[in-house]
Amino acid sequence: MAAEDKFRHEEDLFCPGHRACPGCGAAIACKLVTEATGPNTIMAMPTGCMEVTTTPFPESAWGISWIHNVFENAAAIAAGFETAYKAFSKRGKEGYMDYDDVNFVAMGGDGATFDIGIRSLSGMLERGHDVLYICYDNEAYMNTGIQRSGSTPLGASTTTSPSGKVSFGEDVHKKDMPRIVAAHGVEYVATANIAYPNDFQDKIEKALEIEGPKYIQVFAPCPRGWRNEARDVVKIGRLGVETALHPIYEMENGEITEVQKIKERKPVEEYLKLQGRFKHLFKMEGGEEIIQEIQRVADRNAEIFGLDE
Amino acid sequence: MDKMLTGYDAVAEAVKSCDPDVISAYPITPQTDIVEKLSEMVADGELTSEFIKVDSEFNAASTCIGASAAGARVFSATCSQGLKLMSEVLFTASGMRLPLVMAIANRSLSSPLSIWSDYTDTFAEKDGGMIQFYAEDVQEAMDNILMAYKVAEDREILLPALSCLDGFILTHVQEPVELYDEEDMKQFLPDRVPKYTLDPSNPVTMGAYTRPEYWAECKYMVQKALMKSKDKIGEAVEEFADVFDREYGLENNGLISTYKMEDAEVAIVSLGSVVGTIKNVIDEYRDKGEKVGLVKLRVYRPFPVHEINKALEDVEAVGVMEKHVPSGHQAGVAIDTKSALYSTGKRIPVLDFLVGLAGRDVARDNIRNVIEKTKDVKGKDPKEIGFDGEEHWEPLRTEILPEGI
Amino acid sequence: MMVKDPYKDLKLTVGAVVEPCTSLINKTGGWREFKPVIDHETCIACGRCETFCPDMAVKEVEEDRYEFDLDYCKGCEICAEECPVDAIKMVKEAK
């Protein structure tokens, strides 16, 4: 085998050479997604870190059929191509794959999903399109330089919710997006985490078997935005689960059906102290109260989802 | 196949004949009846398009773009605030070279809110890289839809195209129209053959971002396509005349048509439904031996520079009548007409008459005023009139304006 | 495998459409300060390094043998951190 052949990059559906930061959690998510969906996939992606780092003309890291349009409409773009294929199959149009054989996917960041894209997402969900929507959640608008989003958790310092002499950072709690999605009557809603890749891929495969809209929110730490060591990205993902701050669960027809239990729950400090975006909480007066509030969130999650073994 | 149909039903019939794969639309007065009719046709199995009942015009256009990228023939309809809301993505459709056709039931842009007709909505989109057709009557609005598809889906063009018709004035009147024979349709408008598609068996990446070394040239290609579409429109009207036996500006690439312009000294340049009444008033003037004529714009973008210059070659004064509002300068057609004339070296007065705003009736008296004021400046140098002297709100109810305006 | 060079004789496509996997031309290995080195004796071929690499820069090149594609490895060290048997060391790149 020639030297370059041994890495078989021709088999990659998400290719190296992309310009994501070293240790990017979202890039790990993209790889895991394309492995699970396989090549018979069309993906819509909104503007954001993954779109920008993977498609600077004339380079593209995507081996699957892929489209970007604007920031806030990936769900609607996906609804559009899903409907086109439905029309082609119904009308017997030649030259197109069968509707039942194609995976219609939209994958966007938390900014594009929770905030600016919520309208397009809501419409797609309530109309029942056969689209799998995956949100890679790094808890801020990372691509534009770490601004807060509806997903930014309490106490996190971002450039538009910075910690300062009179500020603890983000002053409201994270939006409960999975529940908002489930309220649309969506059959399958799940959370996942790049630190648990098998679980994430199993959920993608399970979701693709279901007809209709489905939603998976995958926790994807961002070393640049969270100001942690790149090497700790997966570890931080794991701690998010082990502290109960980011529970892994499945919600089917609005009911919690499956949760990932925690053997020995860790205090939230172990998760927070690895990240520069929370370090002010350990230094400033009153920071202790915010940490306690974050612990309350974790405790509540453990209770609601029955996480403690 | 003559039928008496309301404008909205007629437009729906034209769309049905074009048989889009995907229709995606949202209600807005006065276009709503078009999509209601299309919904009925789908519900009765008359039309087998997939109909997406979207949550907003923004997503009407977005779903159309997704479907067009997959290779579908798509249709939407809107106007006014809906058009403004989808503007962001319509601009991207031209950059991404994705054809889509829309019917626009022209209506004022807020504020203040108005449900009645003018072109402030579509003229605001003139920089979006989309082709804009305007119709004098319901039949033309229908025929423009067929031609819009033909030109938009041409693999050398690949741009969004709008078929504009005055809200209420054309959408809600009944006129006798001819529908389309199926065989004729197959001949004039075959199935779309896309250039690139979202196809897992042949994956490509669409919507990449470009760095400074590429962006200008991408936009250059869009400009070239828009300019090329002039000839394509010319070919389309010729073929249309062959197949359907109706003619639209054949001597002018289908971009304009002229009425009694042969020896005209004074010319009115206008577009849309008001053209019908203008023709009646021109007949009046001609009966009295006065040399007045009309240049009717069928297409606003790309602007028919060559055709307008040719039509105005021997004219001594131009009165533009447009349903548009100036914003710190002059209104669209006047600016564009003057810039077209500039390259000929011809210096004649061009007056800008703002008429029919928010559906205000354009009566024969208004048109007579326009012609008289234009006649008055015949032979004058534009310097004598002055820039501010060119703008005429016809009419302007000065009695309701407060002190000091 | 011949890596396609999209910059060679570049001509714009209509709509700036891009061919798949053309990012391979961009050898991000140049970003590194530290490179990963596997101790093949210690390695148990669990595949965690390959699973977590954001850049597809470590693969099972033969049965039970994992190697790093230094053309693309950005040196993030996640593999070293996640290796259950500490078989991966990060070594400073020689200048």
ipTM over 0.85: yes
Query: Quick one: tokens of B136?
Result: 């004098």
- Rounded to the nearest angstrom, the minimum Cα separation between A230 and chain B is 27
* C94 near B CB under 8 A: no
Which of C2, C17, C46, C56 to mutate: most A Cβ within 10 Å? C56
Q: Specify whether domain B256-400 bears CATH 3.40.50.920.
A: yes
What residues in B contact C12, CB-CB < 8 Å? 214, 217-218, 221
Among B95, B158, B217, beta carbon nearest to C12: B217
Beta-carbon separation of B50 and A87 below 8 A: yes
First to last CA, chain A: 50
Buried b (16+ CB within 10 A) or exposed e, B91-123: bbbbbbbbbbbbbbbbbbbeeeebebbbbbbbb
* Residue reference for tokens 């612990």: A295
pLDDT value of position A2: 47
**pLDDT of amino acid B1:** 62
Single-letter code of the amino acid located at B102: M
Q: How many residues does chain C have?
A: 95
Residues in chain C closer than 8 A to B96 (CB atoms):
15-16
Fold (CATH) for A3-305? Rossmann fold (3.40.50)
Q: How many other C-beta atoms can be found within 10 angstroms of the C-beta atom of residue C42? A: 12
Helix, strand, coil share (%) of chain A residues, nearest 5: 40, 15, 40
Using the structure block, give the residue that is written with the tokens 């889009």. B20
What is the CATH topology of the domain spanning B2-244?
Rossmann fold (3.40.50)
Domain residue limits, chain A = 3-305
Q: Is the CATH code 3.40.50.150 the one for domain C27-92?
A: no
The Cα-based distances of A281 to A167, A204, A276, B125, B375 in angstroms read: 10, 36, 10, 50, 78
Question: Which stretches does DSSP call E strand in B323-396?
Answer: 350-354, 391-393
Rounded Cα distance between B252 and B391, Å, is 28
| Averaged pLDDT for residues C5-31 | 97
Q: How far is A197 from chain C (nearest CA, A)?
A: 8
Neighbours of A176 (CB within 10 A): 12
- pLDDT beyond 80 at A3: no
Q: Is residue C6 over pLDDT 50?
A: yes
pLDDT bin (cut points 50, 70, 90) of residue C1 is low
CB contact under 8 A, B196 and C18: no
Contact across the interface for C14 and B97, Cβ inside 8 Å: yes
CB contact under 8 A, A234 and C82: yes
Chain-chain contact of C26 with A19 (C-beta, under 8 angstroms): yes
Q: Sign (positive/negative) of CA torsion A227, A232, A237, A243?
A: negative
Residue C56, both tokens:
């597809």
A67 touches chain B (CB under 8 A): yes
Please, which residues 92-121 of chain B have a Cβ atom closer than 8 Å to chain A?
Answer: 92, 96
Out of B66, B92, B200, closest to residue A97 by CB: B200
- CA C44 → CA B217, C73, C76, C80, distances in Å? 53, 21, 21, 14
Q: What is the spatial order of strands in the sheet that B266-271 belongs to? A: B256-259, B292-297, B266-271, B317-322, B350-354, B391-393
Q: What is the mean pLDDT of residues A112-129?
A: 98
Could you tell me the pLDDT band of residue A1, with boundaries at 50, 70 and 90? very low
Which one, of B211, C71, B199, C27, lies nearest residue A58 by Cα?
B211
Interface check for B65 against chain A (CB to CB < 8 A): the answer is: yes
Closest CB to B203: pick one of C12, C14, C20.
C20
Cβ <8 Å between A60 and C72: no
Nearest CB partner across the interface for C59, out of A7, A231, A232: A7
pLDDT digits (tens, 9 = 90+) for A4-45: 589 999 999 999 999 999 999 999 999 999 999 999 999 999
| B79 against C4, higher pLDDT | B79
pLDDT attached to residue B351: 98
Say if the Cβ atoms of C27 and A17 lie within 8 Å. yes
Is C15 in the A-facing interface, judged by CB distances under 8 Å?
Answer: no
Domain layout of chain B by residue ranges: 2-244, 256-400
- Closest-CA residue of A relative to B47 is A91
Residue C95 is predicted with a pLDDT of 66
Cβ contact A230–C76 (<8 Å): yes
Report residue B22: phi and psi, to 5°. -135, 130
Asked if B211 and A56 count as a contact pair (C-beta separation under 8 A), the reply is yes
Supply φ then ψ for residue A281, to 5 degrees. Answer: -65, -25
> Which residues 273-292 of chain B have a CB within 8 Å of chain A?
none
Beta-carbon pairs below 8 A across chains B and C: 38
Contacts (Cβ under 8 Å, ≥6 apart) of B183? none
- C94, pLDDT greater than 90: no
B2-244 with B256-400: one CATH topology? yes
Do A23 and C77 make contact, defined as CB atoms within 8 angstroms? yes
Q: For residue B51, what are the CA distances in angstroms to A89, B38, B142? A: 15, 9, 20
Nearest-Cα distance to chain B for C16, in Å, is 7
| Probe site for chain A from B49, B56, B59 (most A CB atoms < 10 A) | B59
Measured CA to CA, the distance from residue A33 to residue A28 in angstroms comes to: 9
Of B52, B65, B68, the CB nearest to A127: B52
Q: What is the pTM (predicted TM-score) of this model? A: 0.97
Sign, CA dihedral B207-B209-B214-B217, equals positive
Angle between helices A25-37 and A197-209 (to 10 degrees): 40
Q: Look at residues A275, A192, A196 and name the one whose alpha carbon lies nearest to residue A232.
A: A275
Output the tens digit of pLDDT for each of chain B's 405 residues.
689 999 999 999 999 999 999 999 899 999 999 999 999 999 999 999 999 999 999 999 999 999 999 999 999 999 999 999 999 999 999 999 999 999 999 999 999 999 999 999 999 999 999 999 999 999 999 999 999 999 999 999 999 999 999 999 999 999 999 999 999 999 999 999 999 999 999 999 999 999 999 999 999 999 999 999 999 999 999 999 999 999 999 999 999 999 999 999 999 999 999 999 999 999 999 999 999 999 999 999 999 999 999 999 999 999 999 999 999 999 999 999 999 999 999 999 999 999 999 999 999 999 999 999 999 999 999 999 999 999 999 999 999 999 999
Check CB contact under 8 Å for A16 and C55: yes
Give DSSP secondary structure letters for B78-93: E-HHHHHHTHHHHHHH
Q: Which residues does B23 contact at the CB level (< 8 Å), separation at least 6?
A: B15, B35, B38, B42, B49, B50, B51, B52, B74, B75, B76
Q: Are B15 and B46 in contact (CB under 8 A)?
A: no
CB contacts of B208 in chain C (<8 Å) are 16-18
pLDDT, average across residues C45-59 = 98
* CA–CA dist B63, B102 (Å, integer): 13
Chain C residue with the nearest C-alpha to that of A234: C78
Interface-testing mutation among B97, B158, B222, B224, with chain C (most C C-beta atoms within 10 A): B97
